[in-house]
Structure 1
Amino acid sequence: MNIQNTQSPQNTQPTRTALSRRLRALSAGAGVTALLLTGCSAASDPAPADGGATGTSSASTTVPSGQISVTDPWAKAADEHMTGVFGVIANDSDRQLHLVGAQSEAAQRAELHETADDGTGSTLMQEKEGGFMIEPGQSLELVPGGDHIMLMQLTEPIEPGQQVLVTLEFADGTTLPLEAVAKEYAGANEVYEADDTDESEAESGDGDEDGHGDH
């Protein structure tokens, strides 16, 4: 009995020590594994290229800075019906730009207009079919009595000093927002080629005889 009692503690002590050492080793290993996992997670966090690409793709719908500049954008103040937007659009890129349309919350319709020969030696204003091509290093001048952006069926009066937001649309799907300040302007009472909508306005007395009024 005494021999068993003497040997029992000797056999038990090494076993507990070995277990303690194994537990410490496992704990240390778990800590290293956790660090490795954390490191992998941190390294992979910036990896979602899709999210970044989506953000870039969304922003890329706007014309990149430095490719187009607009000088002195302005609009003619008007109480109702329609008005014109003017300015100089410069193509500062190394490629041809194709302006195909415009939009504005200030009007239900926006069109690109040009001056054309009516066949009798006089000129009239009409929608520019196909839009305007702007060559590299060249500019498109939008002026009263010449090419311009026409805002039709105004949603509210445009007062002098008001900022009118207009978005230019290009054939490649890019857009360019600009703010045109409204100004008083009495000139450029052009004659327009009337469409059905404008002719109905003229007949009802809402427009002038050509259906567009001045702008």
Structure 2
Amino acid sequence: MNRTTTHRLSLSPSVSSPSAPSSPASASSRQRLAPAAALLAAPLVLTACAAGATPGTRVAASAAGAPTSVATATAQHAPEHSRALTLDSGWVKAGSGMTAAFGTITNPADHAVTIVSGSTPTAQMVQLHTMEKQADGSMTMTEKKGGFVVPPHGTLTLSPGGDHLMLMGLTQPLDNGQDVTFSMVATGGETFEWTVPVRSFAGAEETYSPQSPTGTPTMHDMSPTSATP
């Protein structure tokens, strides 16, 4: 008969000696885990820095490599500064009581600008005028409905016989060589300041439309061809 040998296994936990040296395999495993632990801790460090950052502080990129935006609200929403209208070759007719101003308005902006009113210390009132043909064929001055519209990157010419600025109730006679300063207002509240010289000239006669609040006074010498500097 064969004899069966039974081996009894001990289930009690083994106790390691505290002074037992670590195996080379265990040391290698710890070396590999160290960089991984550092990577896991990096997002926590970045999160803490970002939470304490002041506005405008540059925050480092995240551990995943995605760059963090550093644009400020001021840079994103900076107002677009409008470019001022200019009055080129401008001039005002010498005279007393009332007179007119002419020139070429230039708009360098990307959008149309509409001038709706104006003022000057030289006169009690400034109106935007144009010429209209009457039933009898005569041309009379009347206020420009809707104001002066200057197209984007374009010009609007103010000339005798067409659109012009009317100065009414002059505070003093205007003589050749003086300067007149205008403050013009556009839709939206934009303002533009122009200073132009006074010139003496002679020419054709033009009259106001009866629709004018000032009545129908006569305006003489409005020809640009005989203007003298």
Shorter chain as denominator, the TM-score bin is: 0.5 to 0.7
Q: 1:125 to 1:197 in 2, by over 3 A?
A: closer
Greater gyration radius = 2
Cα offset, 1:119, TM superposition? 2.5
Provide the C-alpha distance between the structure 2 equivalents of 1:69 and 1:196, rounded to a whole number of angstroms: 28
Question: 2:82 matched to 1:76?
Answer: no
Taking structure 2 as the reference length, the TM-score comes to 0.57
**Counterparts in 2 of 1:212 and 1:102: CA distance versus 1, 3 Å:** farther
- Using the alignment, how far apart are the partners of 1:196 and 1:188 within structure 2? 20
Secondary structure at the aligned position of 2:214 is classed as helix
**Equivalence for 2:107:** 91
Q: Which runs of 5+ in 2 are unaligned?
A: 1-78, 223-229
Does residue 174 in structure 1 map to residue 156 in structure 2? Answer: no
> Which of 167, 174, 177 lines up with 1:151 in the alignment?
167
- Contact 2:129-2:143 at 8 Å conserved across structures: yes
Q: In the alignment, what sits opposite 2:4?
A: none
Aligned amino acid, residue 174 of structure 1: E
Distance 1:183 1:174 in 2: 28
- Residue 120 of structure 1: SS of its match in structure 2? coil
For normalisation by structure 1, the TM-score amounts to 0.61
Q: Which structure features the higher share of helix residues?
A: 1
4+ long deviations beyond 3 Å? 194-199
Bigger relative contact order, structure 1 or 2 (CA pairs below 8 A, ≥6 apart) = 1
Q: Which residue of 2 aligns with 1:20?
A: none
Identity %: 33
Distance 1:213 1:122 in 2: 14
Q: Does the CA contact (< 8 Å) of 1:194 and 1:212 recur in 2?
A: no
Query: Distance between the aligned counterparts of 1:171 and 1:107, measured in 2?
Result: 22
Change in 2 beyond 3 A, CA 1:114/1:196:
closer
Distance across 2 between alignment mates of 1:193 and 1:166: 24
Measured at CA, do residues 93 and 151 of structure 1 come closer, stay the same or move farther in structure 2, by a change above 3 Å? same
Unaligned runs of 5+ in 1: 1-56, 200-209
Indicate which of 132, 143, 157 corresponds to 1:127: 143
Instruction: Give per-residue Cα distances to partners, 1:159-191, cap 9 Å, x unaligned.
Output: 110000111110110111111100001124212
Shift of 1:67: 4.0
Does residue 187 (structure 1) correspond to residue 193 (structure 2)? The answer is no
Shift in CA distance, 196/98, structure 1 to aligned 2, threshold 3 Å: closer
